[in-house]
Amino acid sequence: MDTKPIVQVKNIGMSFDATRALDDVSFDFFPGEIMALVGANGAGKSTLIKIICGYHSGYEGRILIDGKEALITCPKDAYDAGIQTVHQIINQGVIQSMTVAENLALEEMLSPDQPIFYDYKGIRKRAREIASMMDLDYLDLDAPVFTISQSDRQMISIARALASDPKLLILDEPTSSISEKEAERLFVTLKKLRDRGVSIVYVSHRLHEITRLADRVGVLRDGKKSGVLESPFSAQHIVHAMVGDIDHEPVRKEDVHANKEVVKLELKGIVVQEGDRPLNLKVYEGEVLGITGLIGAGKSELAQVIFGINKPVSGEMFLHGKLYDPVDIKDAINHGIFMVPEDRNNNAVFPQFNIRQNIVAPFLDSFSNSLSLLNVGKERKEARRMIDSMTIKCESEEAAIDSLSGGNQQKVVVARWLMTEPKLVILDEPFQGVDVKSRSEISKYLRAHIGKSSAILIATDIDEVVDVADRVVVFNSGMIAGEQQAGEIEKDTLVHWTAQVPEEILN
């Protein structure tokens, strides 16, 4: 590793109204290293990243590049200095109305050297070159980005950032929405970039990725630098530096059992998508059912059918023994079926609303009087209760939702659907961008308040479902590859079911 840092942040501070987001933070980023940046939700990671990449101006302190002070007041300043950032919010890295090719070759399209007229062939040629770097040749270059998956959008953002040959590459939760296979491909590429002398800042709550990739770990805690860990380090070292000592025991307890006398939801012969095999599944009263599997295995698609977003191809659903065939989302909610969606930013957060309004949005009827006038005082009381229960770090319930870190925004979305007692709540990837302490807090709240309700918790990360679920079901290629009860869970078996090819499942 080079002894001279390529980028330095010195005594960085930033405040948002009364909230002190960063206070006297200094880090050095060296060529030829992967430095992980960690901290609990609200610790200041995203704020620091946004300062370095030019999103936030008006900060205190200095940024030095190659030993010289740099004035970074906008994203173009950072780009011109060789700093590339792939943000946690996927849709900040793509333009959804443009094609895949245009998103991949965006740098070339914005270049002043571009011809006056739209160079369709040239853009496609450059897009194919960039796509090949990350094995994305399967993408339809002419497809509008809004038609492709979150996973593919993330890979486009990463591929474009890598193609610019940056000095400093910042990746904020880069694997939160991509498959294990895509993550492995990314890791190989990052190590090659490191060996070429690129400085990489890697932000992730997935500690096993950090222990595998990082040369050093910079830790933020409550807006301040908590320290820097040098390799070798363990996940336990990182957690302690982030949040101190926390309970690492699984949230699920062996004395918690679903009431298998009462079937809350039953699926009979449900075909989610054309070509899939029929699914049969029961969810019991008081049960937290974990569903895991790779991205694209059919988990989210099943959730969308249960929540009334899509209609099944065939089959029937029964809620408390009665035929359940939701017309739309509103009908599902009226039946007591709630859902925390996978894509928080597009499908869950109302960016123009404050925290209180985001929490109570689906249940305004219960906060209205006979004249349909909203009882704001009642809204505030309920919002404060959920903020306290979910330990959401914020100035007040009236603060803007975009003043929160990504993890705290996620907790607001989860709080919304756990505020009342549903018949069934579906949580699709509820721990994306959530630190280990917040994940534990969400899980504990869910377990403590499940009562006679039921929950389906969907997560690609096996550990996330094993720690809280009474039963774990593995999805693979639209099929149920296997299931295990709490107390008999073997992770090796779950991983085996996840990795099987369809022919092995059918046999």
Dihedral angle at the C-alpha atoms of 461, 462, 465, 469, nearest 10 degrees? 170
Cα atoms found within 13 Å of the Cα of residue 73, Cβ hemisphere only: 2
Question: What is the rounded end-to-end Cα distance, in angstroms, of the chain?
Answer: 51
Between residues 307 and 449, which one has the greater pLDDT?
307
What integer pLDDT is reported at residue 251 of this predicted model?
55
Range(s) within the chain of domains with CATH label 3.40.50.300 = 7-243, 259-352+421-506
Residue 181 to residue 321: CA distance in whole angstroms: 40
| Topology of domain 7-243, CATH | Rossmann fold (3.40.50)
What integer pLDDT is reported at residue 244 of this predicted model?
63
Average pLDDT over residues 345-372: 84
Nearest Cα residue to 159 out of 147, 144, 169: 169
Residues 126-178: pLDDT tens digits? 999 999 888 888 899 999 999 988 778 888 988 888 888 888 999 988 887 77
Residue 112 has pLDDT above 90, yes or no: no
DSSP codes joined into one string, 127-156: HHHHHHHTT-TTS-TTSBGGGS-HHHHHHH
Contacts of 17 (CB under 8 A, 6+ apart): 395, 403
Residue 463 to residue 441: CA distance in whole angstroms: 15
Between residues 318 and 494, which one has the greater pLDDT?
318
Let me know: does 383 contact 412? Beta carbons within 8 Å: no
Average pLDDT over residues 438-444: 85
Residue 398 has pLDDT above 70, yes or no: yes
Residue 298 to residue 478: CA distance in whole angstroms: 5
Q: Which two tokens stand for residue 354?
A: 């404050």
pTM value is 0.65
What integer pLDDT is reported at residue 288 of this predicted model?
94
The CATH code belonging to domain 259-352+421-506 is 3.40.50.300
Residue 98 to residue 120: CA distance in whole angstroms: 13
What is the residue-averaged pLDDT of the chain?
A: 86
Average pLDDT over residues 216-228: 90
What integer pLDDT is reported at residue 164 of this predicted model?
81
Residues 242-276: pLDDT tens digits? 766 555 455 555 545 577 788 999 999 999 988 88
Residue 189 has pLDDT above 90, yes or no: no
